[in-house]
Structures are given as C-alpha cells and as structure tokens.
Amino acid sequence: MRHIIRTAQMTAKEYNSAVDQYADNIYRFVLKHIKNQDVAKDIVQETFAKVWVKRDDISAEKVRSYLFTTAHHTMIDVLRKEKYQTSVEAIDRVESTSPHKNTDLQKILHDALDQLPEIQRTVILLRDYEGYDYAEIGEITDLNESQVKVYIFRARTKLKQILVSLEAVLE
C-alpha cells in the first residue's frame, strides 16, 4: 500500500498575502529585464495566475521562491516568443555609444546592469536586489550553486569594469 504525503496547501488567504507581499518585487525584477511596463505587468499577472492554478501543490513557506521561479520562466518564454531581447540589446548598443554626462547614480547603475548578459543580470538582481542566497537563486534559474557563484562573480567583475570606465569619462 502506498501512502501519498502532501505538503500543506496554500490557502486563498495565504495566496492573497503573497500577492500583497511580493507583487512589487516581482514587477521590479521583471521590469529590469523587459524595460516595458505593460509587458512586465502582463508577466506578473501571468505569474500569479500560474501560482493560483498550482496553489494546491505549493506551501506558503515556499511561495516566494516559486513566484520568482515562475516569473523568471514566464519572462524567458515571453522574450523568446516576442524576440524582445534582440530589440532591447540593439537599443542598448545605440544608447551606450552616445556620450552622456548623466551623474544620476541610479540611472548609471541601471545602464550598467543593462549591459550584462541576461543570466548575469538575473542572478545579480536576485542576489543583490532581492536578497536570495545562492541555493535559492539556483532553484529559480535551474543552475547549480557553483554556476550561480560564477555568474555573480562575472557580473560583478563586468559591472566594476563598466563603472570604472564611466568614472573616467565623468571626471
């Protein structure tokens, strides 16, 4: 005789609490990749719809990780489907070639993040903006911890190079 052990199911109240607690964070995470508010909102909405459908299989303790994982995969699907990534990279190349003397630190950091490859930008955002540990980032991105650490190291190295070169231009 087989026994099926089920984890605690997420209630509607716990789901609503997750929406209140994580919707803004997920939106910011997606928007940093997509650069289109409407598309980012659609991805967040689709993410929460997918979680609602799977709520019986998700425990409230794991909902944060599940939400970011779902948002990440949904975003990748949208990028592939609409080939949006190619146009964003083309815009980034045009913007990065034009000199601008903007000393707004937040804009400079966002521009630097935009120059990173997608996976490096994702792991940096999850680690430094959202506070995930290496194991959680690995879960969300389907990478092992070593890969996560390598991507974070490479992203930080690239960001340092970008910011140092910008500092020389701004002086």
- CATH number of the domain at 108, please: 1.10.10.10
Q: Verify that 104 and 169 share a domain, yes or no.
A: yes
pLDDT at res. 5? 47
Q: Verify that 103 and 169 share a domain, yes or no.
A: yes
| Tens digit of each residue's pLDDT (9 = 90 or more) over 98-127 | 444 445 777 888 888 889 998 999 999 999
pLDDT at res. 92? 46
**Does 169 score more than 70 pLDDT?**
no
The count of domains in the chain is 2
**Does 149 score more than 90 pLDDT?**
yes
pLDDT at res. 170? 61
Q: Which residues contact 75 (CB under 8 A, 6 or more apart)?
A: 30, 33, 34, 43
Residues in the chain: 171
Q: Verify that 12 and 58 share a domain, yes or no.
A: yes
Residue 129 lies in a domain: yes
From the list 68, 76, 30, the residue with the least C-alpha distance to 48 is: 68
Residue 2 lies in a domain: no
Among the candidates 58, 84, 110, a domain finishes at 84
Angle between helix axes 145-170 and 134-141 (nearest 10 degrees) is 100
Neighbours of 66 (CB within 10 A): 21
pLDDT at res. 111? 85
Q: How many CA atoms lie within 13 A of 141 on its CB side?
A: 26
Segment 4-12 mean pLDDT: 67
d(CA 34, CA 39): 7
Among the candidates 18, 50, 84, a domain finishes at 84
Q: Verify that 105 and 77 share a domain, yes or no.
A: no
Range of the domain at 21: 8-84
Among the candidates 51, 84, 117, a domain finishes at 84
Q: What is the CATH number of the domain that holds 77?
A: 1.10.1740.10
pLDDT at res. 97? 42
From the list 136, 135, 113, the residue with the least C-alpha distance to 124 is: 113
| Structural contact between residues 54 and 18, judged by C-beta atoms closer than 8 angstroms | no
